[in-house]
Amino acid sequence: MRVLVLGGDGYLGWPTALYLSSHGHDVGIVDNFVRRQYDLEMGVDSLVPIVQAQARVRRWREVSGLTVELHVGDLTDAAFVEQTFSAFEPDAVVHFGEQRSAPYSMIDRQHAVYTQHNNVIGNLNVLYTIADQDPSIHLVKLGSMGEYGSPNIDIEEGFIEITHKGRTDTLPYPKQPGSFYHLSKVHDSHNIMFACKIWGLRSTDLNQGIVYGQYTEETALHEDLATRLDYDAVFGTVLNRFCAQAVADKPLTVYGKGGQTRGMLDIRDTLACIELALTNSPAKGEYRVFNQFTESFSVLELAQKVAAIHGDGVRVEHLEDPRVEDEEHYYGATHTKLLDLGLVPHLLSDETIERLLSLATRYRSRIDEKAIAPTVSWRRTSSKLPTATTSAPL
């Protein structure tokens, strides 16, 4: 099928585009390269060097003989979205094209407003364009398990059956997001569900857990095809960050008690989940939700795993939690729908952690130790963390 990958220059968008291309789909990617601007703003860079998008596309054509179309523009520009969809004529759209960092959204008012505007308005433009041009286009949207929060009951896949005062109904699962970024994802989910209901669109909302790793079969074909790996406190995911700290001979910094438990998955499973969603399309008017993760770990468990595998006296250090969250909680989340469709997970193994540690060792000179310490506080009255003064790329 013809698949348009929004945010196709990003950490997950780029390997997804290559994976789908290698599996026989005609792929186009859309990006405005603002993720690269965030690095300039925050004064950090990907641990693994990445080349320009145009060079990536050329190298993929040389290595594979396959073509990926590149469309440069901003999803908040409705005219650009309409023109791009009209030119490419997708059968399906994979939507990664949003600001994805919770800490970035919590820096200050400007970054919160930017995150919500960029994510919610861009997604609305996509919905309207699909409705106007071809309602049969399948929208596969990357949501977040963080939309749910950490309730003291099991988390279902999108919906929950409720009996109240003798009457029963199936309702959207209650959302308790933990940042303005996660709130933007909740707004997206509500807007997509509404659009499916009133316009007969079809969409799969993938509430994804925390992704770790950098290796995929396609990105490993040439160093120019590598996807980024973030280790800093603003954009770096927890396991990637711990591996960078271990290699830099720094303590593995756990926020608070470290009992915060999250669903997680290998980057290779993200790619497989996307294709499973694409090849098993929902019905007209159907809005469905898959919880996209393979297993769950607490932050402290991950730190202990990395420390044990790396050795060399690596220690775990507890910091005051800059976030407002439960540091210990129940976590029981259902994630059966993708398994039922045939997902064969890559569970977290010593080999996976060793590969991450080896990668961090290879690029040890690129680790900026100052970028790992938390610099964003959820508490506006806190004076313990420095306040970011740079401007968001509005």
In a domain, 376, yes or no: no
CATH value at residue 339: 3.40.50.720
Mean pLDDT calculated for residue range 189-212: 98
Mean pLDDT calculated for residue range 90-98: 98
Mean pLDDT calculated for residue range 212-239: 97
Q: 322 near 377, Cβ under 8 Å?
A: yes
Tell me the H-state helices in 138-253. Answer: 180-199, 238-247
Mean pLDDT calculated for residue range 368-379: 96
pLDDT at 211 over 80: yes
Provide the pLDDT for residue 380: 81
Tokens at 45, concatenated: 């860079």
In a domain, 173, yes or no: yes
Mean pLDDT calculated for residue range 63-68: 98
Q: What's the mean per-residue pLDDT of the chain?
A: 96
In a domain, 104, yes or no: yes
Q: Nearest-CA neighbor of 255 among 385, 115, 148?
A: 385
d(CA 145, CA 129): 27
**C-alpha distances out from residue 372 to 165, 234, 245, Å:** 50, 8, 8
Provide the pLDDT for residue 64: 98
Tell me the helices (H) and strands (E) count for the chain, helix number first: 13, 14
pLDDT at 53 over 70: yes
Give me Rg for the CA atoms of the chain.
20
Total domains present in the chain: 1
Tokens at 367, concatenated: 């680790």
| 233 burial level (CB within 10 Å; 0-12, 13-18, 19+) | buried
Query: For residue 56, what are the domain limits?
Result: 2-371
Query: Given pLDDT bands bounded at 50, 70 and 90, which one contains residue 388?
Result: very low
In a domain, 225, yes or no: yes
In a domain, 180, yes or no: yes
In a domain, 378, yes or no: no
pLDDT tens by residue, 260-305: 999 999 999 999 999 999 999 999 999 999 999 999 999 999 999 9
Provide the pLDDT for residue 100: 98
pLDDT at 43 over 70: yes
Q: 130 near 88, Cβ under 8 Å?
A: no
Provide the pLDDT for residue 394: 40
Mean pLDDT calculated for residue range 206-212: 98
Q: 368 near 231, Cβ under 8 Å?
A: no
pLDDT at 390 over 60: no
pLDDT at 391 over 90: no
Tokens at 168, concatenated: 């029963």
Provide the pLDDT for residue 381: 62
pLDDT tens by residue, 229-244: 999 999 999 999 999 9
pLDDT at 212 over 70: yes
Query: Given pLDDT bands bounded at 50, 70 and 90, which one contains residue 39?
Result: very high
pLDDT at 385 over 70: no
Total residue count of the chain as it appears in this document:
394
Query: pTM for the complete prediction?
Result: 0.96
Tell me the H-state helices in 280-363. Answer: 299-310, 337-340, 350-362
